[in-house]
Amino acid sequence: MSSFRSHPRLAAVAGLVFGAVVTVPFVVLTDQIERVVLAALIALLAALAAGLWAKRSRLVNEQRLVERREILKQAEGAERNYGALLESLPLVTWLYETGDRNATRYVSPQVEAILGYSPAEWSEPGLFLKSLHPDDRERVVARIEEAAENQVPFENEYRLIGRGGDVAWVRDLATTVRNALGEPLYGRSFVIDIGDRKRIDEERDRLLAAERAAVASTLERQRRLDLVREVAEVASWSLDSRDTIQRIAELVVQDLADWCVVDISDDGGSLQRLAVARAEPPGDAGGAPDEQPEQAVRAVFESGKPRVIPPLGESSNREGAESFLGRVEAQSVVCVPLSVRNQRLGAITVARTSRGHRYGADDLALVEDLAGRIAIAFDRARLYLEVEQRADAARVLAHVADGTLLLDRSGIVRLWNPAAERITAIRAADIVGRAAVEAIPGWREIADQVPASTSVDPAQSEVVVPIETEDGERWLAISAVQFFGGMVYAFRDVTEVRHLEELKADFIATASHELRTPLAAVYGAAQTLLRHDFALDEGGRDRFVSMIAEESERLGRIVNEILLANQLEAGRLDLEFEPFDAVELVERVVEATRTHAPQGISLEVNAPDHVPLVSADRDKVRQVLINLVENAIKYSPDGGSVAVGVDVRGEYARFSVRDEGLGIPPEERPRIFEKFYRVDPQMTRSAGGTGLGLYICNELVSRMGGRIWVEANDDKGSSFLFELPISDASVQRLSAEPAERRGQGSLARTPSR
């Protein structure tokens, strides 16, 4: 039957066939009975068919009922399963009337786990809206309405406040469930707890932010480290503090500031602006700092305490910032004093002019670090200068001829210069660091005699004191200046001067004696000649007159010697160089001396036949020879021979005067050519003299280009020798002559004349 119901054409055909089968026999059969029988048969068949159909229909209905029950059962089972499934899902399934979350149809029990509300509580109208986090409420409501309007699913993440006040992050996937005709049935939301994910996200965001912050702070730190390193590098380069500090200021404005200013005090006095640097380019021209440090900077310098504006911990109080850098409109300022070794050197000021950039504790620490470095650079430059000045002073002391001794307040030797070493023969290494009284013999007595002046007064009193040294007694002219740290002594070696003075004193005594003796003789002779009561014969008169002449000559000689010595000393002596025959001169001198030589003295000449001409002042050579010969006679009280000679030594003519007299002790020999020096000033053995003769000889010979010396003879007495250059013409001739003709080659003793 169902096939007919579902196939109407087939049912129509079957109806037509059935109608034809029923109608056709009635057409064919003409007999009434037959027709009645047929009709009865058809009715029976129809009744049978109807009975069969009714039975089948009942069976079908029963079948359907069973099936329906089955389906319902299954549906219930499916719903139970669905419910179980929904309840086991990790989300809240929430069904409500279409478009109305206040009319809950169903909510799965998970709602309690997420929000603490039982499904029944959650079904209360208005709870959803109330539970929405205030920050999310507006947004979520707008989005729900928008989705409803556009008939699109709603999907969003937001926060719900649970029963206990806890905040739960959820993801809401909502849609309107529709039937087969597309008609809305109800609204359905799957509310998923995304708290964990959110926490992870938040944690990740936090970590990312922290990482970014760490990177930024590392970069910042790196920049700061770079700045510190660069500043340290610049500070170590140059010792020109102004240049260095300007460069540092320029480095600072690259990273840390729009303006950087450094003020330095000159030797603890007033602050001076040393460096001003500005970041490039500042955009607007803006104002500039003053030429001299502002009052606020001075205040920081004087207080020794840094200042930050706005003050650390205060967010916006930039009061006072404008007082730091003149007309610069600073928003934030750090001003830090520069100090080193407890000494205030100045201040560094950095400023930012852009809004929103304010200095913090880190910046203050950095500026303090830079301030330390600048202070050290500046201090180092100053120390270097000081050291250089001291080194200069030390160099001066090293080269000064005066001995210098520096004693500290406890009497310890701190400085002992090379001149002091030289004068006293005490090495600096043996004395510096020791007490002067221990290291310098007789220091206590010396110190007692030296008056300590407190100023370096050129007229300060200098005392002459003796000091015992390894080389014997030395005389020091010493003066002292007292100062804060101790005492400075300056001393000169006046041993020689003193000696000369002694010699001078001796000379005056000797010279007076030398002058007085002939004067007395002249005076006595003249008196005798003038006496009327006393008649003198011719011979007697002659004796007195010649005595007067001799003594006058002696007087004249002494006076001449003194005058000549003076001339030599003053450099006022003219020499006339002209070649002369040395042998002839020697002969003449001997000849002249012989006439008044005392008895017991024999004079001889030792000279070759020919000696080349000597280039010198003949008169002065004569004077030297006479002096030596007279000395030879004078210092031969027991008589003996005096040999005067000349010969050739290379390009020199060598003169010699040899005697057999007293001789000269070896230690005296180097000194006898000194002015006023006499071996026996008390004249215990020898005749008188001025001590000028040999001094004059030495001066004359060396001015004529020669040298003079004394040698002891093997047996007795001494030999005085001096050499003078032979004339150029002679030298040329000499070099052209054969060797045997030269004076040196034919040196021979000639018999005494």
What residue ranges bind ligand ADP (CB under 6 A)?
631-632, 635, 659, 661-664, 672, 677-680, 686, 689-695, 718
Q: How far is the CB of 416 from ligand ADP (least distance, A)?
A: 38
Q: Shortest approach of ligand ADP to residue 678 CB, angstroms?
A: 3
Strands 640-649 and 601-606: parallel
| Residue 322 token pair | 């404008």
Length of the chain: 753
Minimum CB distance to ligand ADP, residue 621 (Å): 16
DSSP secondary structure letters along 211-240 = HHHHHHHHHHHHHHHHHHHHHHHHHHH-S-
Question: Quick one: 518 or 612, whose CB is closer to ligand ADP?
Answer: 518
Torsion of CA 297, 299, 302, 304, to 10 degrees: -80
In the complex with ligand ADP, the residue whose CB is nearer, 289 or 661, is 661
Nearest distance, CB of residue 603 and ligand ADP, angstroms: 14
Question: What would the two tokens of residue 737 be?
Answer: 């002559």
Measured from each CB, the residue nearest to ligand ADP is: 689
Q: Can you read off the two tokens belonging to residue 258? A: 């729009």
Instruction: Report, in Å, the least distance between residue 639 CB and ligand ADP.
Output: 13
Query: Of 403 and 706, which has the nearer Cβ to ligand ADP?
Result: 706
Q: Which helix (H) or strand (E) holds 465?
A: strand 463-469
- Which residues have CB under 8 Å from 246's CB, separation 6+? 274, 275, 277
Bridge-based pairing state of the strands 452-453 and 472-483: parallel
* Residue 475 CB, nearest approach to ligand ADP (Å): 23
Cβ 602 vs Cβ 642: under 8 Å: yes
Residue 369 vs 506, nearer CB to ligand ADP: 506
Q: In angstroms, give the least distance from the CB of 558 to ligand ADP.
A: 9
* Nearest CA among 679, 696, 676, 674 for reference residue 561: 696
Nearest one of 342, 379, 186, 350 to 264, comparing CA atoms: 379
Q: Least separation, in Å, of the C-beta of 604 and ligand ADP?
A: 16
- What tokens does 57 get? 């229909």
- Which residue number, 412 or 573, has a Cβ lying nearer to ligand ADP? 573
The whole-angstrom separation of Cα 256 and Cα 234 is 17
Q: Output the smallest distance, CB 636 to ligand ADP, in A.
A: 7
Rounded to the nearest whole angstrom, what is the least distance from the CB of residue 692 to ligand ADP in the complex? 6
Measured from the CB of residue 407, what is the shortest distance to ligand ADP in angstroms?
A: 44
Nearer to ligand ADP by Cβ, of 263 and 699: the residue is 699
Question: Which residue lies nearer to ligand ADP by CB, 424 or 631?
Answer: 631
Greatest distance between any 2 Cα atoms in the chain? 256
- Nearest 5°: the CA angle 72, 78, 80 is 105
CB of 249 within 8 A of CB of 231? no
When the beta carbons of 349 and 690 are compared against ligand ADP, the nearer one is 690
Q: Which is nearer to ligand ADP, 176 or 718 (CB)?
A: 718
Min dist CB 553 to ligand ADP, Å, is: 16
Alpha helices, H only, 472-615: 495-530, 538-570, 582-596
- The nearer residue to ligand ADP, 189 or 631, going by C-beta atoms, is 631
Which ranges of 644-752 does DSSP label H, i.e. alpha helix? 693-703, 728-736
Which CB, 338 or 633, lies closer to ligand ADP?
A: 633
For residue 171, what are its two tokens? 């993801």
Using an 8 Å Cβ cutoff, are 451 and 461 in contact?
yes
Pairing of strands 100-107, 332-340: unpaired
Q: Which is nearer to ligand ADP, 206 or 707 (CB)?
A: 707
Q: Judged by CB, which is closer to ligand ADP: 117, or 677? A: 677
What is the C-alpha to C-alpha distance for residues 626 and 655, in angstroms, rounded to an integer? Answer: 12
Report the residue number, 547 or 565, with the smaller CB distance to ligand ADP. Answer: 565
Which H or E run contains 425? none
Closest C-alpha among 388, 236, 398, 259 to residue 328: 259
Token pair in block for residue 521? 């003789």
Give the span between the Cα atoms of 227 and 223, in whole angstroms: 6
What separation in angstroms does the CA of 67 have from each of 62, 77, 108, 131, 357?
Answer: 8, 15, 31, 47, 83
Contact 159, 139 (CB under 8 A): no
Give the nearest distance from C-beta 635 to ligand ADP in angstroms: 3
Q: What is the DSSP string of 158-189?
A: EEEE-TTS-EEEEEEEEEEEE-TT--EEEEEE
What's the CA gap between 658 and 711, in Å, rounded? 9
| In the complex, least distance from residue 736 CB atom to ligand ADP, rounded to whole angstroms | 38
